[in-house]
Amino acid sequence: MSSLLLDTHAWVWWISRPDRLSRRQRAAIDRTLKRTDAALLVSIISCWEVALLCQHGRFRFTIPVDRWLEEASTAPGIQIVPLSLPIIITAARLTMLRDPADMLIVATAQHHGARLVTSDTRIDEANLVAVVV
């Protein structure tokens, strides 16, 4: 299986502003959506992060955040993945990332053997998971 996990900003961009994704990121997402043996994953922690960032004014949508989350989490091809004890235990060891959401997202990608679609240079440079930048 060749799954992709979307980092929070990549998920928001793919749904709301796909032009913000790199050409490589869009191509990887398109390829994954066309395959029957792959999935386009989003960690449940990204739902929390979107709600939090909206509350702090960092993300703004034309619809209420709860409606955006409902629509974005059920978009064709999207699979929301839960946290699990193995993911949480792995994330706790990724202290070099500092940001708890990043730690959980990277651990989720590792657990699912997925490449991570991200524009976060800290995640890319940490070399903890294969990324699509």
Q: Looking at the 3D structure of the chain, how many domains does it have? A: 1
| Whole-number pLDDT of residue 105 | 98
Strand ranges for the chain from DSSP E: 4-6, 40-43, 78-81, 115-117, 131-132
Domain span at 102: 4-132
Q: Provide the CATH number for the domain around residue 20.
A: 3.40.50.1010
Q: Along the 133 residues of the chain, how does pLDDT read in single tens digits? A: 579 999 999 999 999 999 999 999 999 999 999 998 888 999 999 999 999 999 999 999 999 999 999 999 999 999 999 999 999 999 999 999 999 999 999 999 999 999 999 999 999 999 999 999 9
Alpha-carbon gap, residue 27 to 19, rounded angstroms: 12
